[in-house]
């Protein structure tokens, strides 16, 4: 008998090359379905916006535009996209403003340094910039937590965001301030060593899971105190999303009413 099961196609949105290098083979190798992943590299949540609309409207519309542009460039139909997986770095997004400090040990060249307690800045301008970024990014994340679908050409595509804290390098290599070259080299070596062994990678990620894996509780946890500077992730939950996204109709009513 011919197997006519439709292949699942997922759009993966990540912020950088190391995220793509890690999660693309992880999802492809460990998914029970035939999952193909297309990657769009951008940090949507920290982008500056001067739109007069609410934070919820602006961030949702920007993600919708990214998804629609990518689908169009790939000459795909929205209805064949099974879901959107969005991987984000926390970068201390939810810490109190008082934990963004000026430090004489941070050079003008380096500009900032992440620790597990504070973000250290080279000067007051950088301090203000990061406080503003955190406020903007936090607001965008909170707005999107109630969104479980992104609609493209009247097709509702299931959506979920997952985090790495304080960033992917911190989770994978216990280092928060790697240069681009160093992080790329480390990730390339790591993936080369783990091709065919992605279950080991998933087990590594599970070490930093929160609250026994409840999706909403993980997001509540990461917003507390300085947790968004420490080693936490909820990315193992993306496999639950792939198996069966949460019923969007039950969580979308409030968002749709405001659209």
Over the stretch 177-211, which tens digit does the pLDDT of each residue have?
A: 999 999 999 999 999 999 999 999 999 999 999 87
Mean pLDDT value across residues 223-249: 85
Per cent of the chain over pLDDT 90 is 72
Distance CA 34, CA 198 (A): 16
The pLDDT of residue 256: 36
Cross-strand pairs, 83: 10
pLDDT band at 36 (very low <50, low <70, confident <90, very high): confident
Question: How would you label 159-197 residue by residue, b for 16+ Cβ within 10 Å and e otherwise?
Answer: bbbbbbbbbbbbbbeeebbbeeeebeebbeebbeebeee
Instruction: Match 């770095």 to its residue by tokens.
Output: 89
Residue spans per domain, the chain: 8-93+130-258
Give the mean model confidence (pLDDT) for residues 20-34. Answer: 87
Contact call for residues 67 and 157 (beta carbons, < 8 A): yes
Q: How many residues does the chain have?
A: 259
Confidence class for position 42, pLDDT limits 50, 70, 90: confident
- The reported pLDDT for the residue numbered 49 is 59
Per-residue pLDDT band for 48 (boundaries 50, 70, 90) equals low
- Per the CB < 8 A criterion, the answer to whether 171 and 186 are in contact is no
Distance CA(8)–CA(180), nearest Å, equals: 32
Q: Is the model's pLDDT at 244 over the cut of 90?
A: no
**Residue 48 CB contacts under 8 Å (≥ 6 apart), including other chains:** 136
Average pLDDT, the chain: 87
Q: What is the pLDDT of residues 159-174, one digit of tens each?
A: 999 999 999 999 999 9
């Amino acid at each position: 008998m011919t197997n006519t099961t439709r292949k699942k196609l997922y759009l993966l949105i990540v912020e950088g090359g190391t995220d793509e290098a890690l999660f693309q083979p992880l999802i492809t190798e460990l998914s029970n379905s035939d999952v193909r992943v297309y990657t769009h590299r951008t940090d949507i949540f920290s982008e500056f916006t001067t739109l007069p609309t609410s934070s919820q409207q602006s961030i949702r519309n920007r993600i919708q535009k990214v998804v629609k542009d990518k689908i169009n460039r790939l000459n795909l139909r929205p209805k064949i996209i099974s879901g959107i997986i969005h991987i984000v770095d926390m970068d201390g997004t939810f810490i109190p403003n008082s934990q963004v400090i000026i430090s004489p040990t941070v050079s003008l060249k380096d500009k900032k340094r992440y620790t597990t307690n504070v973000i250290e800045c080279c000067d007051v301008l950088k301090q203000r910039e990061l406080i503003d970024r955190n406020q903007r990014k936090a607001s965008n994340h909170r707005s999107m937590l109630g969104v479980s679908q992104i609609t493209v050409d009247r097709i509702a595509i299931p959506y979920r965001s997952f985090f790495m804290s304080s960033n992917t390098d911190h989770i994978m290599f216990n280092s928060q301030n790697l240069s681009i070259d160093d992080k790329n080299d480390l990730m390339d070596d790591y993936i080369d060593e783990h091709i065919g062994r992605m279950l080991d990678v998933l087990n590594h990620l599970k070490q930093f899971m929160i609250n026994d894996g409840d999706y909403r509780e993980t997001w509540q946890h990461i917003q507390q105190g300085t947790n968004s500077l420490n080693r936490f992730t909820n990315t193992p939950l993306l496999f639950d999303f792939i198996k069966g996204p949460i019923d969007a109709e039950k969580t979308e009513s409030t968002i749709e009413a405001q659209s």
